Amino acid sequence: MDRGAEPRSDGWSVVVVPKTTTGEVHEYALLPRQLKLLQVALVALLLTVIGLSAALGLALPRSSAYGVLLDENLALRDQLQEIDARLSEVDRILLRLRLYDAQLRSLEEGTGGPEEEVPLDAPLPPDLPDDGSAMLDASPLEVVDRPDLRTAAQWAAAVASRVYEFVALFPAREAELERVVGRLEDASARAGSRPRVWPARGFPSSAFGWRRDPFLRRWRYHSGLDLGGDKGDPIYASSSGVVSRAEWSTGFGRVIEIDHGYGISTLYAHNSLVLVELGARVAAGDLIARMGSTGRSTGPHLHFEVHVDGVPVDPLGFLVRR
């Protein structure tokens, strides 16, 4: 259809003429007020279109950036979840290290070594090997390695790498710690098996080594240490161990022998009374007998021997000086 418009004194008329001769002609009158409203509506529509175009122009780049940020955050979340799982392993490792520390401290106390409180932030020794084991000496969160900052994903990847390195490194170090603790435990047990407690309060009446035999009146080798005293004086176990002998002997009279392990044993002879049974476990300083003069003896005393791998040795080399 053809459209046309002609001005009128009081407004506009719009005439619609059909292409065919059979159609009707329509005329629409537009008043000035209606024209103004139509103009305002057209301007408002044009401004709306311009505003939407500008908003879309600004929003599309931001939407793309938000999408990248969202993807990065999702990847970071996955990495942090994995790091959290690894940190649980680190917690278990640190717990085992605390147990090793407790073992070492108990062994140190048992051997009389000095106790030194080591601060948690103490630096590692300067001669530590540069094979990754010194990584704990570095700052815990190193987030800058160039003038520009790392992204969150790079930071998380760096932290995860250090956690993996620590977790992978610990099993070898733990095996070394177990060997060290094992050797220290063995050394502590050996030290604990040494006879250190004086078995009686009496005075030394005859030393270890060559002496003139009181019965034969000739030189013979004395395989122990004699401690004089009174009948009934207490006799104590010189170290912890198991009673391997508690019987009557022609020469020693009532005699006790204690096996301390590691080839070390002690013998207590001429007792008037035996207070322990065969197979009993005793601790250092336990009362095991009463002093007497049974067997081949000239008077109340304790004949005390220390054997190492079955060979008598001088007890004074073991007993604590008094």
Q: Is the distance from CB of 302 to CB of 200 less than 8 angstroms?
A: yes
**Between 277 and 29, the higher pLDDT residue:** 277
Determine the pLDDT at residue 108: 62
- Side chain identity at 178, as an amino acid letter? E
Domain assignments of the chain as residue spans, ordered by start: 2-75, 80-112+132-193, 204-317
1-15, 56-70, 80-94, 141-155: least confidently modelled range:
141-155
CA distance 310 to 303: 17
CA distance 189 to 260: 10
Residue 10: band (very low, low, confident or very high) from pLDDT cuts 50, 70, 90: low
pLDDT above 50: residue 100: yes
What's the pLDDT tens digit per position in 132-181? 443 434 444 344 444 444 566 666 777 777 777 777 777 777 777 778 77
Residue 208 burial by Cβ neighbours in a 10 Å radius (0-12, 13-18, 19+): buried
Q: Which tokens sit at 309?
A: 């791998």
Other beta carbons within 10 angstroms of residue 229's beta carbon come to 19
What average pLDDT does the chain have? 77
**CA triple 162-165-167, angle to 5 deg:** 110
Q: Which tokens sit at 8?
A: 């009128």
Top-ranked range on mean pLDDT: pick from 173-182, 217-226, 287-296: 287-296
pLDDT above 80: residue 278: yes
Mean pLDDT of 113-128: 42
CA distance 287 to 293: 18
166-175, 201-210, 282-291: least confidently modelled range:
166-175
Domain 204-317 in CATH 3.40.50.740? The answer is no
Other beta carbons within 10 angstroms of residue 118's beta carbon come to 7
